[in-house]
A and B are shown apart, each in its own frame.
Chain A
């Protein structure tokens, strides 16, 4: 058995190493440091169809992530999906008539909300609703419409 001092030092190093690994998992892998939901303001938007959108999906403007989706629910009075998103406090000069669209990254990739700035001078406030929205593209629907158009066109022959 080695002497007590060496043992204590190596145990100290071991515990520090374990803690460092946990910290790395929390910071680098789970990305605790970059974006926490608290430091943003919340905005709502109604969509006919949210497709594969999920909580924590990105909210992007000009391709830059400026926030995250915090909640997705269904409004029974409007029969629409209501998406609550939290936008980073740093981006507080967004026009109130900004349009929200649901886009897909790549053909089958994950879905995100893309915001397109409007022209109004009034700025978006916490709790506001984005009125101009466009739903997610559902692949089956698009295919259905395409096939329907095909058959309608080919019928007169």
Chain B
């Protein structure tokens, strides 16, 4: 019984310790972000490895999600004789929810894990300690560029995902199922708002999700137990935690934005 209580206490202390360390880490990363103005090349390189390399999976999944939305939306709408609203359904659901959320989940899997593994192995092979030895701050040199790059890349990927998805829905609805071309676009254009849907959905959600994913990814890497097992456990935690964080935050953001 006492063992159980002691275990419970230890677990919760560990939890709060990690929570606190994570936030202190975030503050230290944010403090070293302004120094990047003098080294933009570091950020560009990371945008390449997080953003550009995630492009193919984002484009392909966006096209398929849009096409599935086109098919499913058509099946539902046609029973009400409202298949002209297909464009509206596809665009709104992609802009507000599916675009930012699905691309964030893919981004966590594609780029977040790579960040954690890379930083974790740098720690395991003692490259980070070597840097400190040479009076190079690893936070400024390694962590901050990756953090900023993910925040830049994520909203752009969400926008690309959404745009490709709308085109996929157009291809399925108009090309395959014979919805009227004009009303597909006009219904969409009449009801989709720039601030409410495009900026709130893709841009703000994209930036927030990007920040959360990259924070979790770099923290897990930096905080990993410096062994092969430790790095693999940290990579798993990155995917689990950032997916949960994205879905939970999405609920909060949706509640704040659209009610």
Q: Which residues of A contact B (CB under 8 A)?
A: 4, 7-8, 10-11, 13-15, 17-22, 24-26, 28-32, 34, 56, 58, 106, 108-109
11 additional A-B pairs beyond A18-B159, A25-B202, beta carbons within 8 Å, are A7-B44, A7-B48, A8-B44, A18-B157, A18-B160, A22-B202, A25-B162, A25-B198, A29-B91, A31-B192, A34-B189
CA A91 to CA B254, docked complex, whole Å: 39
CA A41 to CA B159, docked complex, whole Å: 34
| Interface residues in B12-40 (C-beta closer than 8 Å to A) | none
Q: Which residue of A lies closest to B201 (CB)?
A: A25
- Chain A residues within 8 Å of B258, by CB: none
Contact B159 A30 (CB under 8 A): no
Write the nearest CB–CB distance from A27 to chain B, whole angstroms: 9
- Chain B residues within 8 Å of A58, by CB: 190
Instruction: Classify the interface of chain A: helix, strand, loop or mixed.
Output: helix
Question: Which of A22, A28, A32 has a CB less than 8 Å from the CB of B159?
Answer: A22
Contact A11 B190 (CB under 8 A): no
Sample 30 A-B pairs with CB under 8 A, ordered by A number: A7-B44, A8-B44, A10-B48, A10-B52, A11-B52, A13-B52, A14-B55, A14-B153, A15-B47, A18-B157, A21-B162, A22-B159, A22-B198, A25-B159, A25-B162, A26-B198, A28-B189, A30-B189, A30-B193, A30-B194, A30-B197, A31-B189, A31-B192, A34-B189, A56-B191, A56-B193, A58-B190, A106-B81, A108-B82, A109-B82
| Interface residues in B194-245 (C-beta closer than 8 Å to A) | 194, 197-198, 202-203
Taking the complex as formed, is B139 at the interface, i.e. its CB lies under 8 A from any CB of chain A? no
CA A17 to CA B155, docked complex, whole Å: 12
Q: Which residue of B lies closest to A8 (CB)?
A: B44
- Chain A residues within 8 Å of B80, by CB: 108
Question: Which of A11, A13, A19, A30 has a CB less than 8 Å from the CB of B198?
Answer: A30
Write the nearest CB–CB distance from A29 to chain B, whole angstroms: 5
CA A144 to CA B95, docked complex, whole Å: 41
Q: Which residue of A lies closest to B92 (CB)?
A: A29
Write the nearest CB–CB distance from B54 to chain A, whole angstroms: 10
Write the nearest CB–CB distance from A56 to chain B, whole angstroms: 7
Known contacts A31-B190, A106-B81; decide if A21 and B163 are in contact (CB<8 Å).
yes
Q: Which residue of B lies closest to A106 (CB)?
A: B81
| Interface residues in B145-159 (C-beta closer than 8 Å to A) | 152-153, 155-157, 159
Taking the complex as formed, is B45 at the interface, i.e. its CB lies under 8 A from any CB of chain A? yes
Taking the complex as formed, is B166 at the interface, i.e. its CB lies under 8 A from any CB of chain A? yes
Q: Which residue of A lies closest to B154 (CB)?
A: A18
Write the nearest CB–CB distance from B225 to chain A, whole angstroms: 27
Write the nearest CB–CB distance from B7 to chain A, whole angstroms: 46
Contact B189 A18 (CB under 8 A): no
Taking the complex as formed, is B188 at the interface, i.e. its CB lies under 8 A from any CB of chain A? yes
CA A26 to CA B45, docked complex, whole Å: 29
Known contacts A10-B52, A106-B81; decide if A29 and B188 are in contact (CB<8 Å).
yes
Contact A14 B51 (CB under 8 A): yes
CA A25 to CA B82, docked complex, whole Å: 23
- Chain A residues within 8 Å of B188, by CB: 29, 31
Write the nearest CB–CB distance from A124 to chain B, whole angstroms: 24
Write the nearest CB–CB distance from B136 to chain A, whole angstroms: 19
- Chain B residues within 8 Å of A13, by CB: 52
- Chain A residues within 8 Å of B82, by CB: 108-109
- Chain A residues within 8 Å of B156, by CB: 14-15, 17-19, 21-22
Contact A14 B189 (CB under 8 A): no
Taking the complex as formed, is B185 at the interface, i.e. its CB lies under 8 A from any CB of chain A? yes
Q: Which residue of B lies closest to A1 (CB)?
A: B45
- Chain A residues within 8 Å of B91, by CB: 29
